[in-house]
Amino acid sequence: MGCVCCKYGRGFTSSWSDGGKKIKGKKDKIAAADELLEVVPIPAHNFKLECAVLTRRGYYPDTPNKENQDCFCIKTCIQGNPNVHFFGVFDGHGNLGKECSNFVKNRLVEILCSYDTLIEDPVNAFNKAFLKTNSELHDNPEIDDSMSGTTAITILVVGDKLFVANVGDSRAVISFKNSDDHSHIVAQDLSQDQTPFRNDECERVKECGARVLSVDQVEGVKDPSVQSWGNEENAGSDPPRLWMRNGMYPGTAFTRSVGDSIAEKIGVVAVPEVSVVQLTANNPFFLLASDGVFEFLSSQAVVDMVDRYMDPRSGCAAVAAESYKLWLEHENRTDDITIIVVHVNGLSNSGQVEEAGSSSGMNVQPTEVKPDVTPTRSEMFRSVGSNFSQNLQFQQVLLSNDQKPR
């Protein structure tokens, strides 16, 4: 058992957890150096998870020395159980975003593992772990989280079930073979982005005292009384944000996070939404990624790209390359990008994806367990070099011999 704690520069080394089989990756034109592929057996159900991860520092021409604030965690054999494994992607923000995301990456899984009832009640354990991690981050004297924090998208694998806990606007997605045409793979979101675009989240933070306005509305360019911003796909680069009633801060474009103690006063809480998913033979893979991936790519587009490759490393590289490309077509910068792809190999059951507590086919809706305690205050990888053009160049050449036959 161990936590993936990897960092790389131009020549990086990897240290995967102890629970899975390590496979040395071949050098190719996508990889900057040798890579490791994690193969994790699930003996209780006689199948395996094959996972890969990739993270890229964003391209920031105005702040070329800005660090990658994304990080991730893959921890196998939770509590010594070979059937229980953890995956997480954390997207930091603010001046101390990297410190926040790394703190949460480490503490969340440690706290989660400490609960004796984790396997019996993962939903409750997730809720308690997120709130305790958030409280510890607030109290950490070395990290000022008043205007910094992190989002977190996490998956706990328990046998052939996934427990998906989300705080913020990173995302988890599962692929699903069409019952009529198994050659067609459908994307199904396992989490819902927690942003003011969601009516329920928008109303919740307003009740906590938040003003919800775009930057143009705050600055008087657009009418602030118009409380309609379309959706995330057509809102452009000026989404609705959260502001103090009498202040021009904090301006968060998400409604939940870990940290952000000032934004917590207007409803930005660390309470996760949790979904329960029954894996089946019709689920070839699932993935977790930071919002940098989904800014210009739909979940279906990401799943289609990953599905083209037999090796999850190639799928990660293809998604990262396309994300960077689209960012630069629309902006003069890119976001940090992190993606974990997990192939499901050898599973033969015929269950269904379900909502926590009830079967619901592929219509996954997050379930929120209200905690009894109200919060008191309302990279593991680094980029391969800092030269963006080099990053993009090596990502653009895909492994043609790895593509699945069509």
Q: Strands 161-167 and 273-278, how do they pair?
A: antiparallel
180 — pLDDT class (breaks 50, 70, 90): confident
Token pair belonging to 72: 């991730």
Q: Which of 91-105, 179-193, 270-284, 302-316 has the lowest mean pLDDT?
A: 179-193
Look at residue 377 and tell me whether its pLDDT is greater than 70. no
| 21-192+268-402: CATH number | 3.60.40.10
Both tokens assigned to 362: 């592929």
Query: Considering only 113-117, 157-161, 292-296, 388-392, which range has the smallest mean pLDDT?
Result: 388-392
Q: What is the dihedral of CA 181, 403, 282, 275, to 10 degrees?
A: -120
What string of H, E and C letters represents the secondary structure of 100-137?
HHHHHHHHHHHHHHCCCCCCCCHHHHHHHHHHHHHHHH
Residues in the chain: 406
CA 153/CA 91 separation, integer angstroms: 9
- Give the pLDDT of residue 236: 65
Tens of pLDDT, residue by residue over 255-298, are 999 999 999 999 999 999 999 999 999 999 999 999 999 999 99
Residues 6+ apart with CB under 8 A from 385: 9, 10, 32, 391
pLDDT band at 226 (very low <50, low <70, confident <90, very high): confident
pLDDT at position 227 is 82
Read off the amino acid at residue 19: G
DSSP state of 361: T
What does the pLDDT look like over 18-51, one tens digit per residue?
A: 334 444 444 333 333 234 578 999 999 999 999 9
Q: Please say whether the dihedral angle defined by the alpha carbons of residues 132, 138, 140 and 146, taken in this order, is positive or negative.
A: positive
In the 8-state DSSP scheme, what is residue 256?
B
Local structure of residue 262 (DSSP, 8 states) = H
Q: Which residues of 289-310 are buried (b: 16+ CB within 10 A; e: fewer)?
A: bbbbbbbbbebebbbbbbbebe
Supply the pLDDT for residue 234.
62
Provide CATH 3.60.40.10 ranges for the chain. Answer: 21-192+268-402
- Predicted local distance difference test score (pLDDT) of residue 196: 95
What pairing do the DSSP bridges indicate for beta strands 47-56 and 70-75?
A: unpaired
The string of DSSP letters for 281-311 reads TT--EEEEE-HHHHSS--HHHHHHHHHTBSS
Say which residues have a Cβ less than 8 Å from residue 341's Cβ, sequence separation at least 6: 51, 52, 53, 285, 287, 306, 312, 315, 316
Say which residues have a Cβ less than 8 Å from residue 181's Cβ, sequence separation at least 6: none
Q: pLDDT tier at 86 (50, 70, 90 boundaries)?
A: very high
C-alpha torsion sign, points 16, 18, 19, 21: positive
Give me the half-sphere count of Cα atoms (radius 13 Å) on the Cβ side of residue 107: 21
Please report which confidence band the pLDDT of residue 223 belongs to, taking 50, 70 and 90 as the band edges: confident
Q: How far apart are CA 122 and CA 116, in angstroms?
A: 10
The answer, yes or no, to whether residue 367 has pLDDT greater than 60, is no
Angle, CA of 353, 90 and 291, to the nearest 5°: 70
Q: Which residue has the higher pLDDT, 396 or 38?
A: 38
